[in-house]
Amino acid sequence: MQKQLFYLAIFCTIFLITFIQVVMINKNNTISRKSELSNKDYKWGFSTDVETELAPKGLSEDIVRLISSKKKEPDWLLEWRLKAFRHWVDLEDKDMEPNWARVQYPRMDFQDIYYYAAPVSKKDKAPNSMEEVDPEMLEAFEKLGIPLNEREKLAGVAVDAVFDSVSIATTFGEKLSEMGIIFCSFTEATQKHPELVKKYLGSVVPYTDNFYASLNSAVFSDGSFAYIPPGVKCPMELMTYFRINTEGSGQFERTLIIADKGSYVSYLEGCTAPMRKTSQLHAAVVELVALDDSEIKYSTIQNWFPGTKDGEGGVYNFVTKRGRAESSAKISWTQVETGSAITWKYPSVILKGDNSVGEFFSVALANNHQQADTGTKMIHIGRNTKSTIVSKGISAGKGSNTYRGGVQIMPTAENATNHTQCDSLLIGDQCGAHTVPYIQVRNPSAKLEHEASTSKVSDDQLFYLMSRGLSEEEAHHMIITGWSRDVIKELPFEFAIEASQLLKVSLEGAVG
């Protein structure tokens, strides 16, 4: 058993190193290191030549009905979507699109987006096995380094890949189902496990929550669904890999993860998109439900196309992520954000149950013209609740990074504790870092700590490392990785390497 695990670990590492170093070549164009589109190599920026079925552009009740029927959804879900849609239209009419974040972008035309894009498969039904999946699509996933075939078994990671609006395949479904674990696409969950979806959908993020949550609830395309039965510890990392391929399409995925009493699950999502001159909207909603004594660990490595180095195009990442922790439950968010032209998100935890714990670890990079307004909300409701926030923002080029954190201690939250650490690293002299912490305490027994630091990579540190033989770039990378260590170490081991590499690649050219 020990030996098997050892080999597993080796394969994981090889798998990831290969993933990072694969050179992207496709039929239409070759994207190489010398691409002028960006001062760094966005390696994932290829496009796949797969036939796509597109609904007409624009958003209307018809489009919502179309999406629902394409996915063969039950009536109650269609009704829910329609309620959300009407609510969103109401908000839109009253001009209630939010604009309080510290980000700037041209006004969005919501009618100028494809809300449904599905790759056309040879058969008009979901594939039952790998052989049935469109080979072109599998090739695309190969390029991305996500082997969906049996090699994947060695990595010990179950992968659900979402290609535009449709989940392509989920490996390991059988093995997990033996344990009673459900891990499948959201669409599949609405068909096979409707009672679970109905019970929890919207229970953490109701469709009235905010503008983008309403939009998502109306037109969500697909996403991941996971349910862990009581007392079960999920033995492998569950992972979903998202990619937006179609030009002008939006990605509105919906993820719902439920950890029943006493269970444990570690989930990871990776995101990437090809280089496009026009912007793409990504408005996802993630809901986590952690019942008594359970634990959910949710990690994200986000590398959406960040726009060209002149600030053209890129993904707008406006996401609502929230978890609810019941008695003695724990939810941890670990986020590594290197991509997106604009990132606007606050993965939060509602500490509803007594003794519940919420954690947020984040490294966010804003380079070139990227803008980020991110942070978290920890809402303490139960007694003896505890929250930890470690937020690290790296700003380079003309990037702008804003940390917006909210710690709320409700009157019922007896003996709450919070520790917040918010660090900014500035590279060069044209970037910005801003901090907007909100602390609201309505119970005097609470104990809160807040620390913040702002720094530059110091010349003394650079000289020290260089005097031992490291090049200026290597020294920078070592200092930045060291600085981000408190966050990177929270990632599942295999992905810590990927995250570190991603930071290095994303900062190439910004340092030295």
Partner 1 sequence: MLKISDLHVGLTADNNVKILKGIDLDVPSGEVHAIMGPNGGGKSTFANVLMGRPDYQITTGTIEFKGESILDLPPDARAHLGIFMAFQYPVEIPGVRPFQFLKAALDSRADATGQKKLSAREFTKRFDEKVVQVGINANLIKRSLNEGFSGGEKKRNEILQLEILQPVLAIMDETDSGLDVDALKIVAEGVNSQRSPDRSFLIVTHYQRLLNYIKPDRVHILVDGKIVETGGPELAVKVEKSGYKEYLT
Residues that bind partner 1 (CB under 8 A): 458-461, 463-472, 474-475, 478-479, 481-486
Nearer to partner 1 among residue 111 and residue 467 (C-beta): 467
- What does the block give as tokens for 250? 């939006």
Provide the minimum distance between the beta carbon of 474 and partner 1 in the complex, in angstroms, as a whole number.
7
Q: Which residues contact 375 (CB under 8 A, 6 or more apart)?
A: 346, 391, 402, 403, 404, 405, 406, 436
For residue 59, which of 168, 187, 219 has the smallest C-alpha distance? 219
Provide the minimum distance between the beta carbon of 464 and partner 1 in the complex, in angstroms, as a whole number.
5
Provide the minimum distance between the beta carbon of 357 and partner 1 in the complex, in angstroms, as a whole number.
24
Q: Which residues contact 223 (CB under 8 A, 6 or more apart)?
A: 162, 167, 185, 186, 240, 253, 254, 255, 256, 284
Provide the minimum distance between the beta carbon of 306 and partner 1 in the complex, in angstroms, as a whole number.
24
Length of the chain: 512
Provide the minimum distance between the beta carbon of 461 and partner 1 in the complex, in angstroms, as a whole number.
5
Nearer to partner 1 among residue 266 and residue 484 (C-beta): 484
- What does the block give as tokens for 368? 């070139």
Would strands 117-119 and 52-54 be described as parallel, antiparallel, or unpaired? antiparallel
Provide the minimum distance between the beta carbon of 363 and partner 1 in the complex, in angstroms, as a whole number.
12
Nearer to partner 1 among residue 106 and residue 469 (C-beta): 469
Nearer to partner 1 among residue 14 and residue 120 (C-beta): 14
Nearer to partner 1 among residue 170 and residue 506 (C-beta): 506
Nearer to partner 1 among residue 346 and residue 483 (C-beta): 483
What spatial distance separates the first Cα and last Cα of the chain, rounded to whole Å? 46
Nearer to partner 1 among residue 104 and residue 467 (C-beta): 467
- What does the block give as tokens for 181? 């674990």
For residues 101 and 95, what is the distance between their CA atoms, to the nearest angstrom?
16
In degrees, rounded to 5, the angle at the alpha carbon of residue 346 between the alpha carbons of residues 344 and 347 is: 130
For residues 254 and 284, what is the distance between their CA atoms, to the nearest angstrom?
6
Nearer to partner 1 among residue 148 and residue 462 (C-beta): 462
| Contact by Cβ (8 Å): 413, 381 | yes
Nearer to partner 1 among residue 313 and residue 393 (C-beta): 393
Provide the minimum distance between the beta carbon of 153 and partner 1 in the complex, in angstroms, as a whole number.
27
Nearer to partner 1 among residue 247 and residue 486 (C-beta): 486
Provide the minimum distance between the beta carbon of 387 and partner 1 in the complex, in angstroms, as a whole number.
23
For residues 392 and 340, what is the distance between their CA atoms, to the nearest angstrom?
17
For residues 114 and 57, what is the distance between their CA atoms, to the nearest angstrom?
5
What is the side-by-side strand order in the sheet with 237-243?
166-170, 157-163, 237-243, 264-272, 295-303, 330-337, 357-366, 386-395, 417-426, 447-456
For residues 460 and 232, what is the distance between their CA atoms, to the nearest angstrom?
50
Provide the minimum distance between the beta carbon of 158 and partner 1 in the complex, in angstroms, as a whole number.
30
Provide the minimum distance between the beta carbon of 335 and partner 1 in the complex, in angstroms, as a whole number.
18
**Which helix (H) or strand (E) covers residue 10, if one does?**
helix 2-21
CA distances in angstroms from 228 to 170, 201, 396, listed in the order given = 16, 16, 41
